[in-house]
Amino acid sequence: MDRLAQAIADARARYVSLNPRSQAADREAERSLPGGNTRSVLFFEPFPLTMVAGEGAEVTDLDGHTYVDFVGEFSAGLFGHSNETIKTAVHEALDTGVAMGGQTRFERELGSLLCERFPSIEKIRFCNSGTEANLMALAAALAMTGRDKVLVFGGAYHGGVLKFPAGGSPLNVPYDFVLGEYNDVEGTAELIRGAADELAAVLVEPLLGAGGNIPGSREFLDMLRRETREAGALLIFDEVKTSRLGPAGLQGLWGIEPDLTSLGKYIGGGMPTGAFGGCAEIMERFNPKKEGSWGHAGTFNNNVCSMAAGCAAMGRVYTPERAAEFFESSEAFRISLNEMFEEREVPMRCNGMGSIFAIQFSPRPIRKTADITVENQSLRPLLHMELLLAGVSVCGRGDMFVSLPMTETHLSKARLALESFADRYKSLILDIVGQAPQS
């Protein structure tokens, strides 16, 4: 067995010995759930932990271990597990009635908050998830343009039926997708021009999340805005995650206004929700007061728990001012980790922006999905195991999401765990990746 395989096996053996109850719960769950699991992204070898409690920025598992929660529900957990303002809002909403089959003040208030926050969103409609938001945005683009093709990017994830690892998934909706390379300015411009009269939309994350937390370059995003206008196609920004980066998301940071924007994850204060919105010309096609409008139903689009939680979250907790402060402090933390890796001359880096980043094993910055090598990916299981054993819960693929209730104590624990990992495995990482970091 080679050094890496042995290191992973040793870490997993320690993990198994410390988590007998989670292991037993996983085996029991296999009786009703395929592989004991109903969220594929949460599965990892040898078995995932069963969480039983969350408080602030921490979670506790079935065996009684407490972790700093950097999984953060893949960005939905921005507010942590026990924000009192959001909890109070949900309790009050429940007291008014759960499913009343009518309009409520909550959806109207949250809609107004989001339209004020994102300049490109003149009008908005709610749904149940980021997946639904992207599906509705794409459906609107196809209906609006009368065209069939959609340009997406390798490595992107826009929902359970809109994912493009290695180019696509057998479970994807059967749209006519054109696949581009993220951050490839010239190649993507050629694809847009080549599709021309057939292209309905370009769907893009301003930061490629599941594909490695790769920020879109300003040149790349500007090109998308320019070329889609020239082609008569719609530009859709998937800011389901990235809208939490600063007061108005990455579109606000770059000053780029897409035609449509999809939102989700955190905007419901941690409750299930999604939304899509954009320019009035497009969104007014959903106006049921107008003849020939597009129907958009959904029993839980305006569910009171999510809408009330969203009003509290976006109106009183995560204000634009708080979002700006949080972006700056989280970006400072991310940069400090990169500086620590550089000081140790270990080829590791935090790729991303602000409170959303991923640990990558690379001597160079990750700018395209092709920069994420097989060697890079081979080290992820070891990092994941060792951080869990140190009391820091991160995503299996290396993603880390900073949440609002995290204190310096929480951040220091993560920093120390990463320092320890870098020191312990430096020679192994260098052997696999090949050289010290370069800027």
345 vs 310: CA distance, rounded Å: 43
Last residue of a domain, one of 267, 290, 317: 317
Per-residue confidence (pLDDT) for residue 2, from 0 to 100: 93
pTM attached to this predicted model: 0.97
Inter-axis angle of helices 3-18 and 380-389, nearest 10: 30
Per-residue confidence (pLDDT) for residue 199, from 0 to 100: 98
> What is the average per-residue pLDDT within 290-298?
96
157 vs 74: CA distance, rounded Å: 12
pLDDT exceeds 60 at position 1:
no
The verdict on 74 and 152 lying in the same domain is no
Last residue of a domain, one of 287, 317, 347: 317
**What CATH number does residue 312 fall under?**
3.40.640.10
pLDDT exceeds 90 at position 434:
no
The verdict on 89 and 211 lying in the same domain is yes
438 is a domain residue: no
Q: Cα separations (Å) of 131 from 126, 138, 157, 321, 422?
A: 12, 11, 9, 28, 36
Per-residue confidence (pLDDT) for residue 438, from 0 to 100: 61
The verdict on 47 and 163 lying in the same domain is no
Last residue of a domain, one of 297, 317, 337: 317
If 0-12 CB within 10 Å is exposed, 13-18 middle and 19+ buried, where does residue 97 land?
exposed
As given in the structure block, the two tokens for residue 269 are 């204060």
Q: What percent of the chain has pLDDT over 90?
A: 95
> Domain residues for 332?
3-78+321-433
Cβ atoms 155, 165 nearer than 8 A: yes
| Total number of domains in the chain | 2
As given in the structure block, the two tokens for residue 115 are 């339209």
Cβ atoms 147, 200 nearer than 8 A: yes
Per-residue confidence (pLDDT) for residue 206, from 0 to 100: 98
pLDDT exceeds 90 at position 435:
no
Mean pLDDT for all residues in the chain: 96
Kindly report, residue by residue over 12-69, the tens digit of the pLDDT: 999 999 999 999 999 999 999 999 999 999 999 999 999 999 999 999 999 999 999 9
Per-residue confidence (pLDDT) for residue 437, from 0 to 100: 59
Per-residue confidence (pLDDT) for residue 5, from 0 to 100: 97
> What is the average per-residue pLDDT within 327-335?
98
Phi/psi-derived region of residue 204, left when phi > 0, alpha when psi is between -120 and 50, beta in every other case: beta
294 vs 286: CA distance, rounded Å: 5
Per-residue confidence (pLDDT) for residue 405, from 0 to 100: 98
Q: What percent of the chain has pLDDT over 70?
A: 99
439 is a domain residue: no
The DSSP-derived string for 288-350 is TTSTTPPP---TTTT-HHHHHHHHHIIIIIS-HHHHHHHHHHHHHHHHHHHHHHHHTT-S-EE
**What CATH number does residue 45 fall under?**
3.90.1150.10
Per-residue confidence (pLDDT) for residue 196, from 0 to 100: 82
pLDDT exceeds 80 at position 167:
no
> What is the average per-residue pLDDT within 335-342?
97
pLDDT exceeds 70 at position 97:
yes
71 is a domain residue: yes
> What is the average per-residue pLDDT within 195-212?
96
Per-residue confidence (pLDDT) for residue 98, from 0 to 100: 87
The verdict on 91 and 60 lying in the same domain is no
pLDDT exceeds 80 at position 380:
yes
288 is a domain residue: yes
> What is the average per-residue pLDDT within 354-380?
95
pLDDT exceeds 60 at position 439:
no
The verdict on 260 and 334 lying in the same domain is no
Q: Between residues 308 and 1, which one has the greater pLDDT?
A: 308
Cβ atoms 7, 380 nearer than 8 A: no
